[in-house]
Amino acid sequence: MTDFDNIPDQWWLAQLGGTLIWARLRVRPGGTAEVLDSDGNTLSYDSEDTARAQLFDAEFVAFDGLDEEDALHRGFSLHEVTPPQGDDDALRGRMVQLLGTRV
């Protein structure tokens, strides 16, 4: 069991044309945060707020903050898109998704 087993993942996405780019934000027990980016890098931040600010600066939006209207405006339906699943190694190949395909 790891420190992250009971901490929910926060999924973020950005869009480039017909491609969704995922990022996973985790808040560590001590209040620091880490982001698994689409290249498979784990980026550490001093706080959740700092990590969120970096994601916003990179034009990511919180997946759980999207409603169907927001998603349709971006060119996809929430019924068609789900965050990638798997451990960190498996996620590395799933963090970029072409719209119209499943992760």
Chain segment 81-95, per-residue pLDDT in tens? 999 998 888 888 899
Bridge-partner residues for 67, per DSSP? Answer: none
CB atoms within 10 A of CB 101: 9
- Residue 68, domain member (yes or no): yes
- Residue 52, domain member (yes or no): yes
CA 29, 32, 38, 39 torsion: positive or negative? negative
Give the chain's domain count: 1
74: containing domain? 10-98
- Residue 2, domain member (yes or no): no
At 14, list the tokens: 């950005």
- Residue 37, domain member (yes or no): yes
pLDDT, tens digit, 9 for 90 and up, residues 1-32: 455 456 689 999 999 988 999 999 999 999 99
- Residue 4, domain member (yes or no): no
**Whether the Cβ atoms of residue 7 and residue 26 lie closer than 8 Å to each other:** yes
Q: What is the pTM of this model?
A: 0.85
Q: What gap in Å lies between CA 41 and CA 30, rounded to an integer?
A: 21
Output the average pLDDT for the chain. 89
